[in-house]
Homo-oligomer: A and B are copies of this chain.
Amino acid sequence: MTTFPTRPPLSSTARTSPTRKPQRYAADREALHAVLDATLVCHVGLLLNGSPLVLPTAHGRDGDTLFLHGSTGSGNVRAAAAGAELCVTATVLDGVVYARSLNDHSMNYRCAVIHGRAALVTGEERKEHALRVLSEHLSPGSWDYARRPNRRELAATHVLALDLDEASVKIRRGDPSLDDADRESHSTWAGVLPVHSVFGAPVPASYVPAGTATPEHVSARVSRRTVRPPS
C-alpha cells in the first residue's frame, strides 16, 4: 500500500511537477535549501516590457524565504517589487559527463527553480534583517566588519522576499548513461570530469594602505570551495 503524506514535501503544482526523467527530481525541502545555499548567484526571470528577461543576482535564504535585492533605479527590480511573476533559478554545475555515445553526454548538476511573486520588504528593521541575510550569504562576516547601510543607502535599495512555496529541484549525479548500443564498447572510456568552484587569494583594493591585514572572515574562506560539493 502506498501512503501519501498529507502535505506534499516540496511542491506539486503543474509547473513544478516532472514532465520527464522524474528520477532526477528531488522531493525534499532540504534539497531545495541545499542548492540555494550552495550558489552565490541565481538567475531571475521575469517579463519586462513584454519580453522575457533573465539577469543574475545575489540571494540569501532565511528558512523558507528567499531574499533578493537591487537598486530602486533598476527596471527589473522595480517590476519585481511591483509584483511581477518571477522564476528564480539557481544552478550548480558539478561535472561534465562523458558517455560512450555523444547522445548520452550530459552534465552533473543541481538546479532549483522557484516560481512566485515577491513581496517588497519594508520597515527599517525588517529590511536590515533581510540585507544581513543577503550579506552573510555572499560575504559571511562582512555585516560585523564593514560599515552598515545608512538611511540614504537603505532608501535606494529594494529588498524582495520570495516564498519557497512553489519550487522544484532537479539533480543529475553519478555515471554517464549507457545505451544498449554501447554496452559492449568496453575499450571506450566514459566517466565524469568534476567541476569545482574555488576561491583564490584575496586581492586588496588599491586604496587600502600596504600592510593592512586581510580580515579572518575573508582569508579563512580561501581554502574553502565556494559551493558545497554534492552529497
Q: Interface residues, chain A, CB within 8 Å of chain B? A: 14-15, 19-20, 40-41, 43-49, 51-56, 58, 71, 73-75, 85-89, 91, 93, 95-96, 98-103, 105, 107, 109, 111, 113, 115, 131, 135, 138-139, 142-143, 145-150, 153, 157, 175-176, 178, 181-183, 185-209, 212-215, 218, 221-222, 226
Q: For the complex, give the distance between the alpha carbons of A196 and B43 in Å.
A: 19
| Complex alpha-carbon distance, A186 and B91, angstroms | 38
In the complex this chain forms, how many copies of it are found?
2
Q: Given A55-B113, A93-B41, A206-B175, A226–B85 Cβ distance below 8 Å?
A: no
Q: Which of B142, B175, B202 is close to A207, meaning CB atoms less than 8 Å apart?
A: B175
Q: Are A146 and B105 in contact (CB under 8 A)?
A: yes
Contact B91–A43 (Cβ < 8 Å): yes
* A19 surroundings in chain B (CB, below 8 A): 73-75
CB-contact partner of A182 in B58, B147, B189, under 8 A? B147
Q: Which of A111, A187, A189 has the most CB of B within 10 A?
A: A189
Contact assessment for A194 and B201 in the assembled complex, using a CB-CB cutoff below 8 Å: yes
Give bound CA distance, A143 to B99, whole Å. 11
Question: Which residues from B are CB-within-8-Å of A226?
Answer: 93, 195
A52 near B41 with CB under 8 A, answer no
Contacts of A52 in B (CB 8 A): 45-47, 52, 85-87
Q: How near does chain B come to A21, taking the closest CB pair, in angstroms?
A: 9
8 further interface pairs, Cβ-Cβ under 8 Å (given A96-B138, A194-B203): A15-B49, A40-B107, A45-B45, A54-B87, A100-B146, A102-B147, A107-B138, A197-B197
